[in-house]
Structure 1
Amino acid sequence: MLLLYILLLGLLLSHTPCCCSWSTPASDTLNQGQVLAVGEKLVSTNGKYALGFFQPATSTISKSQNTTSSSSSWYLGIWFNKIPVFTVVWVANREQPIPHSNINSTKLKFSRDGNLVIVTNRADAVSESLVWSTHIVNSTQTSSINTTTSDAAVLLNSGNLALLTNSKAMLWQSFDYPTDIALSGAKLGWNKVTGFSRKFISRKSLIDMGLGSYSLELDTSGVAILKRRINPSVVYWHWASSKTSSLSVLPTLKTIIDLDPRTKGLMNPIYVDNDQEEYYMYTSPEESSSSLFVSLDISGQVKLNVWSEANLSWQTICAEPADACTPAATCGPFTVCNGNAQPSCDCMEGFSRKSPQDWQFDDRTGGCIRNTPFNCSTRGNNKNMTSSTDIFHPISQVALPYNPQSIDVATTQSKCEEACLSSCSCTAYSYNNSRCYVWHGELLSVNLNDGIDNNSKDALYLRLAATAKFEKKKKQTNIRFVAAASIIGFGLLVLMLLALIWRNKFKPLYNNQVSGGGIMAFRYTDLVRATKNFSEKLGGGGFGSVYKGVLNGSTSIAVKRLDGARQGEKQFRAEVSSIGLIQHINIVKLIGFCCEGDHRLLVYEHMLNGSLDGHLFEKSNAAVAVLNWNTRYQIALGVAKGLSYLHQGCHKCIIHCDIKPGNILVDASFVPKIADFGLAAFVGRDFSRVLTTFRGTAGYLAPEWLSGVAVTPKIDVYGFGMVLLEIISGRRNSSIETPYNTSDSSSYQNVEYFPVQAISKLHSGDVKSLVDPQLHGDFNLEEAERVCKVACWCIQDNEFDRPTMGVVVRVLEGLQKIDMPPMPRLLAALTV
């Protein structure tokens, strides 16, 4: 018992933030002549913020780390004083950390010229050395300032450190020099008079507060952008396409924030543009200002974080960009990024982490290094002629890396391979559609392509030493024998434990021998309790109704109760297992199911913003904000990626069979999720078609449904094309609507079937007239034309004329051109 007590005590101590214990009562002010040493701190008058010296430790920043090792460097910073998880919101000396050996002689004070400075005494130095300064007073001003002035540094209730004069005028503030976190009242923008820019820069790692790879700033057009600062320097995300679009996004952002009960009323986004400055910021009620913040993550994502008292942790409400792989080169060289995995970065075949310690602290910019060097040498004195026995390893389903070099003379794949082998600096090649591309040096931004068509022509061929495969096999053989015994023994123990839990908790299911496939099996009484006896109905259809529920008092769920005759046990459970294995950002997550007695229920994650049809068609609902063009385009791209994954990325090809706006849900960040797989058909990889009963929704049905032939994934492509047209127009394809600027019911527009209008206007070059009038012309015309072309190709009569969803994704991403589509024969008949 004593040993257990000691272990628990040690564990608690190991998770204590690496800041010194505070030896004196804290004030919010540091006056001229006073110093702040290690172990002392300033505390705002509301007690919510503190300033002092600290040493980052992994246990105080990330719960995912299993180590409590701390940095050898010290910093002066501001943190949340009342939050039990040590969270730094501002750092003074990011680029000049203080070595641990000097920390006892380090202090914060006022210099003779009136600046606030950090000074330290090195062991080998006679005088103090400057670590950091506010740099506000130059030599011409020092004559009017001396050590007897009453200038003071004050930690304000907003978390802002301000340097004030005797008359309370502000000379300097920390809000003008943000780090990676934006608090309420902090500005993102620039001063038009001085040109001074306020931008946020990510930290390098969990324990290194230095300048990281990414910045959030305002560009010259007034649009907030995310940018990779170092090579390659590239803008990878825009808040909107223009300043006008940015302003229209703010009300939508406010709506999104208020839809989530955790953030309702906590944030008010603001944009200011006057003669003096231009900036964005947000304000919060004072009582909640220290319970949320916006951060620029190490990996390049902007996140809204809210403190959860129930979990005693920070909860990320939303992130932009939503895909963790979107930030440029977030995983470093020779890596593959998978936005659906955790962690998202992994080394390529034949490579290992360059610095495992950096990866442990979330700094993956160093990427991976080659395990075995190339076997490549020049022939004689001719450096252009090489001899190599290297091989190529195919990596499929990836977006190709940056900076390819086109080899026009390589007209076959073998010649493309030879072109790469002819240079010792060539690291990879790709051959597709008779085009050869090679890469020299580091490979950056190789991302899994979300289910894009997977075939050898689309692969990236990674160059490896011929001995690399042999070494891998030898290593695997040695590891397998050692690991097998451990895995088998441990696995048996875990299975026995799980069997006991399964039997006790889910007894009805256990008796029926259901394989959960990684999803939860619920008792009917649990779902009755979670939905308050199915009291809040979200929607319904011919196959059942959907109800809102709450699990464990916090997790919102949507429970679909299937009506009608009981399905066969094996068929129902096979469908649940298949859908339950799908893990994709654009497919709604199946949490679990109930198969108890005659009850058949499916439990999904609940989407706060409901279905897409409500945002497109419910114009009379004042509570529904009009989707801006950028949001519509990203929804279209997300749905395309989800369908491509269903068709090509799963073990079995899944045909949804009922693609329509009502089956596309959107989360709090308007990331689309394909839902309602009640009509889905499953096709083995050895088959291209499936015979199935007639199913789907009128208006989205492909012509082959009516002919009774076996269907293919191209029926989903047809439905997606119809959805694209409705995203463009903001109306149902088959509806008759009056003009938006009149109440005259006798004045009708768009009486013609909209798909006919769309392809006719596309051919005449008048795409602009097709776009939803509620956007008031604020959209990207090039993107609108691209979407319209894709939609009209998707709704072609002949399934062979329709593109695959993989091609659709590439076109929408701007990676592939598409020709002008012909008028489908069935649509042409409507114009006669």
Structure 2
Amino acid sequence: MSNVYDHWERLVGAVIRREELWRMFHDQSPSVSSIPSDCSLDSEVLDVPFDFSSPRSSSSYQQLPPSAVENLQKKEKSAEEEEVSGLVFVQGFSPVFDLDDLLRSTAQFLGEGTFGSAYNAAMDNGITVVLKRLNAVNISEKKFRRQMEVIGNVRHENVCALKAYYFSKDEKLLVYDHYSNGSVSALLHGNIGKKQISLDWKSRLRIAVGAARGIAYIHTQVGQNLVHGNIKASNIFLNAYGYGCVSEVGLATLVSSAWTRHSQSSGYYAPEVTESKKLSQASDIYSFGVLLLELLTGKPSMLSEGNDKAIQLVSWVASIAPADWTAEVFDIELLMYQNIEKEMVKVLQIALICVESVPEHRPKMSEVSRRLDDIIAPHEGRGVV
């Protein structure tokens, strides 16, 4: 799949228009979900046998009865008008672009996540945002908009804010700020198994502290009942000061069928989640503990043992005796820094409490955040910031 798409409008609109064509030629109209999931957006889906760039003048329409042509054109015009006017900005964010700007932007494919595909969308006005296209979302418009209001009200310097969203039968789009430093997963592990940049101990502490603050704040929302549900290194980004920022707040409860398919193999989900399929703030804390282990070890949440076998990072760390932590557990790149071993041990102890198998034995996120603040305070010179 090409990483750059110069005609974003065709990317998003092709699926909808293709379904319209099916309706014209077949007795039963297949849903968008019936299109194979492995379709390449820049080839198979876009390589349709009709010219969509100018529907009124397309010679393909001449093969249809006049009434069918008129009907299809009306539907496409209605869909286009809905798309242009359908982008909803969260309260507090100015509508400095519209859906038409977004769809005409140059988009760089970032990857396929638990809930859908993510793209960097660079618009002609110089604004770059992250666009999330949700997959397998079977939800009413009313419920979707209500959930977006909840997510949109989560405002904190260590939480990636939802700026805008779009809802239609076939497309659910979310717009977030763009973070130029990329995700923690990319920084730690890179795209080809190598680190892209070296993260020193202070940088990793800031990532941990920022993410902890963000999650602690999330847990105070909606009567202290809001759950993130999908905390992992690829959902943590770095702000301008190098502190971790948490993204994809609240999507796990919106797309509950998606995360259950990934829970067994991701290494981030707590044992009770894989058994009961129920998320909680305690399971968020477990996932954060796995993130801390990644920052300490430099290893991913699932380790390969060969012969297509894998072991969870939590299990691997637990198998190593405390006396061997320094030599076996900590990332070798961290060992070159002096006078940080005690701090690493303290963070490791916090991580191990977070990944306790019994949910009730895990600390609250506010307590985890406070303990990490105490560790980073000497590095900041003027105390916790």
Length-normalised TM-score, structure 2? 0.65
**Does the 8 Å CA contact 2:292/2:351 hold for their aligned counterparts?**
yes
Deviation at 1:633, TM superposition (A): 1.1
After TM superposition, list the pairs within 5 Å mapping 1:51-130 onto structure 2.
Answer: none
**Does the 8 Å CA contact 2:151/2:250 hold for their aligned counterparts?**
no
Deviations 1:525-565 (A, max 9, x none): 23112x23xx4212223532112123562322111122345
Q: Corresponding residue for 1:578? A: 150
Q: 1:641 to 1:623 in 2, by over 3 A?
A: closer
Q: Corresponding residue for 2:54? A: none
2:333 match: secondary structure: helix
Structure 1 stretches lacking a partner, 5+ long? 1-506, 683-689, 738-744, 746-750, 816-832
Q: 1:789 to 1:694 in 2, by over 3 A?
A: same
Length-normalised TM-score, structure 1? 0.32
After TM superposition, list the pairs within 5 Å mapping 1:618-629 onto structure 2.
Answer: 618=190, 624-629=196-201
Q: 1:570 to 1:623 in 2, by over 3 A?
A: same
Equivalent of residue 526 in structure 1, options 66, 78, 101: 101
Q: Corresponding residue for 1:569? A: 141
After TM superposition, list the pairs within 5 Å mapping 1:641-660 onto structure 2.
Answer: 641-649=213-221, 651=223, 653-660=225-232
1:591 match: secondary structure: strand
Q: 1:707 to 1:555 in 2, by over 3 A?
A: same
**Does the 8 Å CA contact 1:758/1:767 hold for their aligned counterparts?**
no
1:583 match: secondary structure: coil
**Does the 8 Å CA contact 1:523/1:596 hold for their aligned counterparts?**
no
Q: 1:514 to 1:594 in 2, by over 3 A?
A: closer
Deviation at 1:508, TM superposition (A): 4.8
Q: 1:800 to 1:678 in 2, by over 3 A?
A: closer
Q: Distance in 2 between matches of 1:624 and 1:666?
A: 14
2:203 match: secondary structure: helix
1:797 aligns with 2:369: no
Q: Corresponding residue for 2:372? A: 812
Q: 1:589 to 1:545 in 2, by over 3 A?
A: same
Q: Distance in 1 between matches of 2:121 and 2:331?
A: 35
Deviation at 1:765, TM superposition (A): 5.9
Q: Distance in 2 between matches of 1:644 and 1:804?
A: 8
Q: 1:774 to 1:681 in 2, by over 3 A?
A: same
1:771 aligns with 2:301: no
1:610 match: secondary structure: coil
- Moved beyond 6 Å, runs of 4+: 509-515
After TM superposition, list the pairs within 5 Å mapping 1:655-734 onto structure 2.
Answer: 655-677=227-249, 679-681=251-253, 694=260, 697=263, 698-708=266-276, 710-734=278-302
Q: Distance in 1 between matches of 2:326 and 2:174?
A: 42
Deviation at 1:728, TM superposition (A): 0.5
The one-letter code of the counterpart of 2:354 is C
After TM superposition, list the pairs within 5 Å mapping 1:632-647 onto structure 2.
Answer: 632-647=204-219
1:536 match: secondary structure: strand
Deviations 1:553-592 (A, max 9, x none): 2322111122345531012111211111111111112221
Q: Corresponding residue for 1:611? A: 183
Q: 1:695 to 1:648 in 2, by over 3 A?
A: farther
Deviations 1:248-291 (A, max 9, x none): xxxxxxxxxxxxxxxxxxxxxxxxxxxxxxxxxxxxxxxxxxxx
Q: Distance in 1 between matches of 2:199 and 2:319?
A: 25
- Cα-Cα RMSD: 3.5
**Does the 8 Å CA contact 1:679/1:696 hold for their aligned counterparts?**
no
**Does the 8 Å CA contact 1:588/1:604 hold for their aligned counterparts?**
yes
* Number of corresponding residues: 287
**Does the 8 Å CA contact 1:733/1:754 hold for their aligned counterparts?**
yes
Q: Corresponding residue for 2:345? A: 785
Deviation at 1:717, TM superposition (A): 0.5
Q: Corresponding residue for 1:339? A: none
1:578 match: secondary structure: helix
Deviations 1:609-664 (A, max 9, x none): 11111111128577811111110111111111111001125555321111111111
**Does the 8 Å CA contact 1:610/1:666 hold for their aligned counterparts?**
yes
Q: Distance in 2 between matches of 1:578 and 1:510?
A: 24
Q: Corresponding residue for 1:368? A: none
Q: Distance in 2 between matches of 1:723 and 1:647?
A: 17
The one-letter code of the counterpart of 2:337 is D
**Does the 8 Å CA contact 1:654/1:680 hold for their aligned counterparts?**
no
Deviation at 1:759, TM superposition (A): 3.5
**Does the 8 Å CA contact 1:794/1:802 hold for their aligned counterparts?**
yes
1:655 match: secondary structure: coil
1:735 aligns with 2:303: yes
Q: 1:519 to 1:695 in 2, by over 3 A?
A: farther
Q: Distance in 2 between matches of 1:724 and 1:713?
A: 17
**Does the 8 Å CA contact 2:184/2:238 hold for their aligned counterparts?**
yes
1:591 aligns with 2:163: yes
**Does the 8 Å CA contact 1:654/1:681 hold for their aligned counterparts?**
no
Deviation at 1:770, TM superposition (A): 1.3
Q: 1:566 to 1:512 in 2, by over 3 A?
A: farther
Q: Distance in 2 between matches of 1:707 and 1:673?
A: 29
Identity %, equivalent residues: 29
Q: 1:549 to 1:771 in 2, by over 3 A?
A: same
**Does the 8 Å CA contact 2:90/2:162 hold for their aligned counterparts?**
no
Deviations 1:455-485 (A, max 9, x none): xxxxxxxxxxxxxxxxxxxxxxxxxxxxxxx
More helix by share: 2
2:118 match: secondary structure: strand
The one-letter code of the counterpart of 2:126 is S
